[in-house]
Structure 1
Amino acid sequence: MIQSAYIHIPFCHHICHYCDFTKFFYNETLATDYLQALKKEIQTKVPGRDNEVKTIFIGGGTPTALNISQLQMLLEIIHHTFDVESCEEFSIEANPGDFDKEKIKLLKEYGVNRVSLGVQVFDNEMLKSLGRAHQVKDVYRTVSDLQQDDFTNISIDLIYALPHQTAEHFQKTVEEALSFQLPHYSAYSLQVEPKTIFYNRLRKGELHRPEQEEEVKMYAVLRELMAVNDLNHYEISNFSKPGFESKHNLTYWNNDYYYGFGAGASGYIPGKRMINIRPLPAYIKQAELDGNPTLKIDKITLKERIEEELFLGLRKQKGISDTTFIEKFGFSYHHIYGEQIDSLKTKKWVVEEERHLRLTEQGLLFGNDVFEQFLIDGDIIQVD
């Protein structure tokens, strides 16, 4: 079964300086054309009605940049194809300040039960330097409005290691975020990606980034404050109260299958990873033509599946189950990675308990170095 559906809405009213996702300035006519094309793609790739999925996630871009009639159109498209009532988690990304009470009521009526707010930092000047349109006061208003309409599953996303940020500054942001007493928080280190404003500034020597030691301090502050507030560190960058883990993102970390719809979206179905056309006019044209705006299909080999199982699974606090690995692949991960696991245990970067391999406290700080150990030499895996 395909576990999840990701639906990409690429429109924004402002372009953030760090964002490298597929995004375009909002235009009402273009957005309506896009939704018509998206409808054609979804109904072509997943024919029929009431198709079961465990999770649905509307991401972007900024999905709430759509006007009220367009947002309703999007939700109607989703309801036409998927059995929303049986869906365990129906999420939407949003920027604080993009919501009004009418949009919130509409989301509630159509079964959306989780909202992920892109707050990033509780500092108006720093928000402005990131290219964000909202202010701190908008976070308070948006959370209040959501809670008044009985939204209980709300997440706040933060970014750290921002230009000119210190560990002390980030601590204040985390403390203010925690004051909302929400069930879920995410915090990601800033990654400067090509084709972004920050990347161009970095190349010119105009982007002041914190030293690595300061970034490590920020991560330590993050983990400590989350623990004090009884939030479980269930994935490298994610924390939640019991039962409020992001079921959709767990689809990715569990290396399960998912649909990907919209410009630039990627999907993962048995044996294949699919990436859609990214430029908006080309996506719309192809989707309207045949409902299949796929740019590229990559065949996923057994080697790649196993590597991804390790890379993604080790992001989770509980790590990788050898029992589950055997069910998927027919042999233990020790068959391939015995030497690597022993070496990492010696460094105290991983530990194995009750047939679960996971990162240690120290291993969390050297995640990329750990993951590199699980690259497989050669294309053919011999199993006894």
Structure 2
Amino acid sequence: MVKAAYVHIPFCEYICHYCDFNKIFIQNQPVELYLDYLQTEIVRVMQTHDKQELDTIFIGGGTPTALNEAQLTQLMTTISRHLLPSNKNIEFTVEANPGDLSYEKMRLLKSFGVNRFSIGVQSFEDRLLEKIGRVHRKNDVLRTVEDAKKAGFDNLSIDLMFGLPGQTAEDFERTLDLALALDVQHFSAYSLIIEPKTVFYNLVQKGRLPLPPQEEEARMYELLMSRMEQAGFNQYEISNFSLPFMESLHNLTYWNNEEYFGFGAGAHGYVNGMREVNAGPLKKYMALIDESGSPITTRHKVTEAERMEEELFLGLRKTAGVSKQVFKQKFGQELTDVFKSPINEQKQKGLLEEDESSIFLSVQGRLLGNEVFQSFIGLS
């Protein structure tokens, strides 16, 4: 049963220097035509599924709020008709940039049932925002959060980044001070990862990107965990913190290794045991829908061994870890039998802990999560 849907809007007003998501400058693009094809994809998929089963919808990008009000109305009408359940309240999130989320757009989105924003703040240091290619500034964030509250939103998430070029732990602490003063319900905080085909990747290749040393980045992460705990936020996943009962249901779908729809150019989905990837370029996405009725370019049937591995390296992102009981229910085998060797190895390193009900990362393990995850791949 598929309980989550992701919808991708690839258009942006500008391109951030670190971003490797499927995106394109919105100027002179066939936005309305893309939204027509997106509707076609959604309608065809949902003909064989029940939208009433959905518990969460997430519209990401790109920058969904780069769309104008008429385009947003077109998009939201499609989602309201073909994805949004009519018999229950669900978590309905839109990814937003502080610079282009106007009060009018907020009210429009709320009228269609959107009840959560994920706001791409990244930093409250204007000089760092400029370095990473963001065009909003600190005051834009303050206005956006204030307007969202006025518009009736009481489930707001803020994205932060650390390990940025030229960033110090003191910079990050000032950002945390301002972020925690905003009275929002959720934070996602990620270290900068240099991805191929980005501006930052090219600068690194040329030796022109001054990144903080690993020790300073680790200090920022430790500071993050400490400050969030002091403020009453629960670290329920390596990079995510929430007030009680305000966890992101959509992201938990991924970490719980559950299935989800992926709609739009470049979107990924996981349906009926198949991991699927849509064409990324707009022309190819639309052409495939015309030619075959589906924009999917890659399908992979997930084997039982792969499912077990995914259960581990996705589930261990959660601070609660991987449940032994749930693993046994899903796979009919004991977790500690299937992965006995890597579990013992990572426990000896002090990166993994175990109790009667689950295995989970130690605090030190959260700093070295990728090393732990890698140890579970190719062994089951």
- What TM bracket, shorter-length normalisation? over 0.9
State which of 327, 331, 334 in structure 2 corresponds to 1:332: 334
- String of CA shifts for 1:82-130, please: whole Å, max 9, x gaps: 2334252000000002112221111111100110000000011211111
Higher mean alpha-carbon deviation, 284-293 vs 318-327, is at 284-293
Once superposed, what is the RMSD of the aligned Cα atoms? Answer: 1.3
State which of 147, 154, 168 in structure 2 corresponds to 1:145: 147
Whether 1:2 and 2:6 are equivalent positions in the alignment is no
C-alpha separation between the residues in 1 aligned to 2:291 and 2:81? 20
Corresponding residue of 1:81: 82
Equivalent AA in structure 2 for residue 207 of structure 1: L
Q: For 1:130-279, what aligned pairs fall within 5 Å after superposition? A: 130-279=132-281
Corresponding residue of 1:52: 53
C-alpha separation between the residues in 2 aligned to 1:310 and 1:50? 29
- The CA deviation at 1:368 is 1.4
- The CA deviation at 1:270 is 2.4
Whether 1:94 and 2:79 are equivalent positions in the alignment is no
Q: How many residue pairs end up in the alignment?
A: 378
- The CA deviation at 1:72 is 0.8
Equivalent AA in structure 1 for residue 40 of structure 2: K
C-alpha separation between the residues in 1 aligned to 2:141 and 2:126? 11
C-alpha separation between the residues in 2 aligned to 1:288 and 1:52? 28
C-alpha separation between the residues in 1 aligned to 2:100 and 2:161? 19
- String of CA shifts for 1:3-62, please: whole Å, max 9, x gaps: 200000000000000000000011365111110110111111111774421100000000
- The CA deviation at 1:342 is 2.0
State which of 320, 330, 355 in structure 2 corresponds to 1:353: 355
Equivalent AA in structure 2 for residue 279 of structure 1: P
Higher mean alpha-carbon deviation, 285-294 vs 163-172, is at 285-294
Contact 1:62 1:93 in 2 (8 A): yes
List alignment gaps of at least 5 residues for structure 1: none
Partner SS for 1:371: helix
- The CA deviation at 1:375 is 1.8
C-alpha separation between the residues in 1 aligned to 2:195 and 2:79? 31
- String of CA shifts for 1:178-222, please: whole Å, max 9, x gaps: 110211001000011000000000000001111100100000110
Q: Rate the CA distance shift 1:333–1:128 in 2: closer, same or farther, 3 A.
A: same
Contact 1:117 1:154 in 2 (8 A): yes
Corresponding residue of 1:41: 41
C-alpha separation between the residues in 2 aligned to 1:13 and 1:344? 44
Contact 2:125 2:171 in 1 (8 A): no
- String of CA shifts for 1:318-347, please: whole Å, max 9, x gaps: 001010001100111112111222222222
What's the TM-score, normalizing by structure 1?
0.96
Contact 1:18 1:192 in 2 (8 A): yes
C-alpha separation between the residues in 1 aligned to 2:371 and 2:129? 32
State which of 308, 312, 315 in structure 1 corresponds to 2:314: 312
Q: For 1:55-66, what aligned pairs fall within 5 Å after superposition? A: 55-66=56-67
Q: For 1:283-298, what aligned pairs fall within 5 Å after superposition? A: 283-298=285-300
C-alpha separation between the residues in 2 aligned to 1:155 and 1:360? 25
- String of CA shifts for 1:118-153, please: whole Å, max 9, x gaps: 000001121111111111111011111110011000
Corresponding residue of 2:70: 69
Whether 1:27 and 2:27 are equivalent positions in the alignment is yes
Q: Rate the CA distance shift 1:217–1:29 in 2: closer, same or farther, 3 A.
A: closer
Partner SS for 1:45: helix
- The CA deviation at 1:354 is 3.0
Q: Rate the CA distance shift 1:67–1:288 in 2: closer, same or farther, 3 A.
A: farther
C-alpha separation between the residues in 1 aligned to 2:82 and 2:357? 40
- The CA deviation at 1:290 is 4.0
Equivalent AA in structure 1 for residue 277 of structure 2: I
Contact 1:47 1:81 in 2 (8 A): no
C-alpha separation between the residues in 2 aligned to 1:365 and 1:271? 31
Partner SS for 1:267: strand
Determine what percentage of the aligned residue pairs are the same residue: 48
C-alpha separation between the residues in 2 aligned to 1:94 and 1:280? 21
- String of CA shifts for 1:267-311, please: whole Å, max 9, x gaps: 001221000001111112222444300111011111111111000
Contact 2:61 2:95 in 1 (8 A): yes
Higher mean alpha-carbon deviation, 226-235 vs 49-58, is at 49-58
Partner SS for 1:206: coil
Equivalent AA in structure 2 for residue 280 of structure 1: L
C-alpha separation between the residues in 2 aligned to 1:112 and 1:52? 17
Q: Rate the CA distance shift 1:67–1:334 in 2: closer, same or farther, 3 A.
A: same
